[in-house]
C-alpha cells in the first residue's frame, strides 16, 4: 500500500507531528521529503490546511497546529501506535511489519474501538518501537521523548535504546538489521567505534555497523542500570 491511499489530511498532520517529535524544522521542504511528494504539491496542500483551520503559518516561521489540527494529529498518532501494540502483542505480527500495517489501521479505527484497544492493553504508554502514545492528558508530558541521537553519543558510554523513530520504522531493511541483532527499545548498547561515515555498536555479543544517518534515527539515553 502506498502513501497515496492514505487520507491526505491525516497523513499531513501525522507527518507534521513526527517532525515536531523528532525536533526537525516544520517547513514545507521537510514535509515534502518525508511525504515523498513534490514541494509545489505539498505547498498547495498546506495552503488548504491553513485555510481550513488545521494549521497556522506565521510569516517567516515554522508551521504550527491549530487546536483543531493538534487534536486530529494526536488522534491519528494515538491510533497508529495503539494499532502497533495490538498487532504485536495480541495478533503476533512481525516487528518489522508493524509500522506499515498500522499505517492502514490508523485511518479505520473508530473512537469506540480505540477505547476498547486501550482497555485491552491497559493504556500502554509507548508503542513497540518506544515512541510515546499521546492521550491528550497532562501525564503525556512526563513521557515526552528526551534522549539523544545515537550518532551524538560518545564511544564507550553505556546507553539504553529509548526509541526507534517513525522515520526509521519505514526502512524495512534497517528494521530487519535491528531485529536480527535483537536491538529493541530498552536494550543496552555501547558504541565501540565511530567515524564521520558510520559507527559500530555492541549489543549482547552482536557488533552492528550503522551509517551515521541511520544511527541518527535511533534515540538513546545514558544507561544507568536502573529500571527502565
Contact of 49 with 55, CB cutoff 8 Å: yes
Distance, in Å, from the CA atom of 187 to the CA atom of 204, rounded to the nearest integer, reads 9
Residue nearer to Zn ion on the CB measure, 104 or 213: 104
Distance, in Å, from the CA atom of 113 to the CA atom of 168, rounded to the nearest integer, reads 28
Residue nearer to Zn ion on the CB measure, 70 or 167: 167
Distance, in Å, from the CA atom of 150 to the CA atom of 139, rounded to the nearest integer, reads 26
Q: Which residue's C-alpha cell is 535511533?
A: 218
Residue nearer to Zn ion on the CB measure, 70 or 165: 165
Distance, in Å, from the CA atom of 114 to the CA atom of 75, rounded to the nearest integer, reads 10
CB of 174 to Zn ion, least distance (A): 14
Residue nearer to Zn ion on the CB measure, 74 or 169: 169
CB of 169 to Zn ion, least distance (A): 5
Q: Which residues are near Zn ion by CB under 5 A? A: 99, 166, 169
Q: Which residues of 67-101 are buried (b: 16+ CB within 10 A; e: fewer)?
A: eebbebbbbbbbbbbbbbbbbbeeeebebbebbeb
Q: Supply the Cα-derived Rg of the chain in whole angstroms.
A: 18
CB of 195 to Zn ion, least distance (A): 30
Q: Where are the beta strands (DSSP E) in 57-139?
A: 64-65
Contact of 145 with 105, CB cutoff 8 Å: no
Residue nearer to Zn ion on the CB measure, 10 or 28: 10
CB of 143 to Zn ion, least distance (A): 16
CB of 101 to Zn ion, least distance (A): 10
Residue nearer to Zn ion on the CB measure, 30 or 79: 79
CB of 99 to Zn ion, least distance (A): 4
Q: Determine which helix (DSSP H) or strand (DSSP E) holds 191, and give its type and residue range.
A: strand 188-194
Amino acid at each position: 500500500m502506498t502513501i497515496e491511499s492514505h487520507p491526505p489530511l491525516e497523513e499531513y498532520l501525522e507527518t507534521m507531528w513526527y517532525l515536531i517529535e523528532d525536533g526537525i524544522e516544520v517547513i514545507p521542504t521537510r514535509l515534502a521529503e518525508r511525504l515523498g511528494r513534490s514541494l509545489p504539491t505539498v505547498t498547495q496542500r498546506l495552503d488548504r490546511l491553513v485555510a481550513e483551520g488545521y494549521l497556522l503559518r506565521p510569516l517567516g516561521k515554522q508551521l504550527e497546529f491549530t487546536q483543531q489540527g493538534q487534536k486530529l494529529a494526536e488522534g491519528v498518532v494515538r491510533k497508529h501506535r495503539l494499532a502497533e501494540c495490538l498487532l504485536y502483542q495480541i495478533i503476533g505480527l512481525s516487528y518489522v511489519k508493524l509500522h506499515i500495517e498500522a499505517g492502514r489501521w490508523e485511518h479505520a479505527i473508530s473512537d469506540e474501538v480505540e477505547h476498547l484497544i486501550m482497555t485491552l492493553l491497559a493504556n500502554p504508554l509507548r508503542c513497540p518501537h518506544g515512541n510515546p502514545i499521546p492521550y491528550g492528558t497532562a501525564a503525556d508530558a512526563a513521557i515526552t521523548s528526551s534522549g539523544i541521537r545515537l550518532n551524538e553519543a560518545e564511544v564507550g558510554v553505556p546507553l539504553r535504546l529509548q526509541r526507534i523513530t517513525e522515520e526509521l520504522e519505514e526502512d524495512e531493511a534497517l528494521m530487519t538489521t535491528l531485529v536480527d541483532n535483537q536491538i529493541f527499545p530498552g536494550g543496552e548498547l555501547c558504541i565501540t567505534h565511530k567515524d564521520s561515515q558510520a559507527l559500530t555498536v555492541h549489543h549482547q555479543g552482536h557488533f552492528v555497523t550503522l551509517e551515521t544517518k541511520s544511527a541518527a534515527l535511533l534515540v538513546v539515553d545514558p544507561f544507568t542500570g536502573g529500571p527502565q
